[in-house]
């Protein structure tokens, strides 16, 4: 079994100058493809259950699915709650066997975000798992705008909460379908000059691949969340499968044809983050 905590995979990444993919899952087909992609190239992977995933499938079921996949591969697999908004939701994830929880208080005033995130971090650490927090709200393409992270506030947030990883707002935006621009490298440098904590980029699909690689190998950014890019690959494969034979109705047959394209898309994402081939580790 290769179930790992977030710290288990991010601390080696921080030391080795690479990043780990936080791949956003929606169902069995994509999470299985992500685990198999990670296994095929020897990379660690973080399987993430975000709000839309949890609305579709209960946390105890997701926890069992993630743990089953971790047992099926030899590379480290993190079972991660993405954007937990309440203490109870984070507790439910821990009860369901998740090995990492992300508490998102980024819309709240700094003091409240610190206090609530610290409480979740204490809960997670008591259970032997990791906690991610967010400082500086990361917005949505066509929706809420981002609030850039203040470096001094980031340092205070990291220190006072005791989190294992910190999501920051440095020009990144959720749900971008096109790689529309790069991140604010100067702001990233200012943040990491004040705190050694592992940094996380949400909305990684909107970051050019070359910049993902460059930042993964030269900065403290150890985790890129990738969702939209992989959902687009799944959607394209699903449309092709349906359109190939409109008379087909067996969803198992149809969904089977999404597997290889999604594996290939996940391989590209993970390979660009520079992780060593863990299959060769002794």
Q: Where are the domains of the chain?
A: 3-280
Q: Where are the alpha helices (DSSP H) in 17-150?
A: 28-41, 51-56, 59-72, 87-95, 110-126
- Please give the Cα distance from 6 to 116 (Å, whole number): 20
Considering only CA atoms, which of 268, 163, 256 is closest in space to residue 224?
268
pLDDT of residue 26: 96
Sign of CA dihedral 7, 9, 14, 20: negative
pLDDT of residue 282: 40
Q: How much is the pTM?
A: 0.94
pLDDT of residue 206: 84
Q: What is the pLDDT of residues 75-118, one digit of tens each?
A: 999 999 999 999 999 999 999 999 999 999 999 999 999 999 99
CATH class of 3-280: alpha beta
pLDDT of residue 175: 53
Point out the residues that are catalytic. Answer: 82
The beta-strand segments (E) located in 149-269 are: 165-168, 198-201, 221-226
Mark the ranges of the chain whose per-residue pLDDT is less than 50: 282
């Amino acid at each position: 079994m290769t179930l790992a905590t977030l710290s288990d995979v991010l601390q080696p990444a921080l030391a080795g100058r690479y990043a780990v993919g936080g791949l956003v899952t929606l169902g069995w087909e994509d999470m299985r493809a992500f685990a198999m992609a990670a296994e095929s190239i020897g990379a660690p992977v973080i399987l993430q259950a975000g709000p839309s995933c949890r609305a579709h499938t209960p946390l105890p079921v997701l926890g069992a699915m993630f743990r089953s996949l971790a047992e099926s591969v030899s590379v480290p697999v993190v079972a991660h709650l993405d954007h937990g908004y309440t203490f109870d939701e984070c507790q439910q994830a821990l009860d369901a066997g998740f090995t990492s929880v992300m508490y998102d208080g980024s819309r709240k005033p700094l003091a409240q975000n610190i206090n609530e995130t610290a409480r979740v971090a204490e809960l997670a650490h008591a259970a032997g798992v990791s906690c991610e927090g967010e400082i500086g709200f990361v917005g949505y393409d066509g929706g809420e705008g981002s609030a850039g992270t203040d470096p001094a506030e980031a340092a205070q947030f990291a220190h006072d909460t005791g989190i294992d990883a910190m999501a920051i707002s440095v020009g990144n935006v959720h749900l971008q379908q096109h790689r529309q621009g790069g991140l604010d490298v100067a702001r990233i440098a200012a943040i990491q000059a004040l705190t050694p904590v592992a940094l996380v980029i949400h909305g990684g699909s909107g970051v050019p691949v070359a910049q993902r690689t460059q930042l993964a190998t030269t900065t403290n950014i150890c985790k890129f969340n990738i969702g939209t890019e992989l959902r687009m690959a799944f959607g394209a494969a699903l449309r092709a499968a349906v359109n190939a034979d409109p008379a087909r109705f067996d969803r198992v047959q149809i969904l089977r044809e999404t597997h290889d394209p999604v594996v290939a898309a996940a391989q590209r994402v993970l390979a660009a983050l520079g992780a060593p081939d863990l299959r060769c580790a002794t």
